[in-house]
Amino acid sequence: MQQARRMLTVGGLFFSGLLLTAMACSAMLQPVPGRVPTLPVPSATAAATETAIPLYQRVVLTSMPSEEHGQPFAYTVTTQTPMLTGSEDPRVLKFNDEMTVIVNKAVTDFKNSLGSVVPSPISSASSFDLRYNLLSPPGNILSLKFDMEVYVTGAAHPYHVSQTANYDLERGLDLTLGDLFMPDADYLTALSRYCIAQLSTRDIGFEGFELGATATLQNYRSWSITSDGLMITFDEYQVAPYAAGPQIVVIPYKQLGQLIQPGGPLAAYVH
């Protein structure tokens, strides 16, 4: 009997201990008033930084083709207009508007030229064809070269004209040749010297056409940014006879190193 009582006593003490332990654990798990755990919330600036994608990576350069037929002289006009798609950013819309203006003006000039031609029994069809190439490597700078082949009835042969456009997409601005170089840098003289030296080595009949490569903005109006250097385009008759065709000179950036604007469009190419 006494042994049974001792077992009941021990059992009671055991269960009492379990109860006290459970109560203690429950108390530990209860939230403490006034101490609410908080988690760090990423700031809007940090989130924007992580998700920001450069504008040039959000757009795609596409071509808008067009063909037109009309009178006088049964002309045909074919064009390709560069267009950026993928964003309605004002900088993109500005680029598209400017490219449209360039193409439309070239077409209008061609049509106007037909108005001054006197018809003849041997008048033939006239034509205007405009194409473009993107010459700059991937990035904020869009450097495009438009090539136009024009034939006006009565002419002995077609002629070719180029025009370039250089656009800073990040800033939404057109670039001028002067934007590439240090303020007050005599960059035209540097460009002219290099181009004249190169053209003089070619079998194109450059002698007598040197004036077309002298240091003037008009002579160096057609320039393009490429991976290999600053590309200068001289149209037919500018630095050589028609038979020699247009002439292109690519000036390595290292040749212009000290003249290039630090932090400017060409800075990434100078090592």
CATH number at residue 139: 3.30.565.40
Whole-structure pTM value: 0.80
Count structural domains, the chain.
Answer: 2
Q: Which stretches in the chain have pLDDT values below 70? A: 1-51
Q: What is the model's pLDDT at position 43? A: 53
Same domain, 166 and 239: no
Domain assignment of residue 233, yes or no? yes
Q: What is the model's pLDDT at position 51? A: 60
Domain assignment of residue 225, yes or no? yes
pLDDT tens digits, 113-140: 999 999 988 889 999 999 999 999 999 9
Domain assignment of residue 81, yes or no? yes
Q: What is the model's pLDDT at position 121? A: 84
Same domain, 134 and 77: yes
Rounded Cα gap, residues 65 and 79, in angstroms: 6
Q: What is the model's pLDDT at position 270? A: 84
Domain assignment of residue 48, yes or no? no
Which CATH number goes with the domain that contains 247? 3.90.640.20
Q: In angstroms, what CA-CA distances link 120 with 73, 117, 176, 203?
A: 10, 9, 43, 38
Rounded Cα gap, residues 50 and 64, in angstroms: 34
Q: What is the model's pLDDT at position 123? A: 86
Question: What are the residue ranges of helices labelled H in the chain?
Answer: 2-29, 44-51, 90-114, 187-199
Same domain, 116 and 134: yes
Q: Which two tokens stand for residue 248?
A: 């292109």
Same domain, 74 and 124: yes
**Pick from 246, 92, 230, 223: which is nearest to 164 by CA?**
223
Partners of 149 in the β-ladder: 129, 160
pLDDT tens digits, 148-188: 999 999 999 999 999 999 999 999 999 999 999 999 999 99
Rounded Cα gap, residues 105 and 132, in angstroms: 15
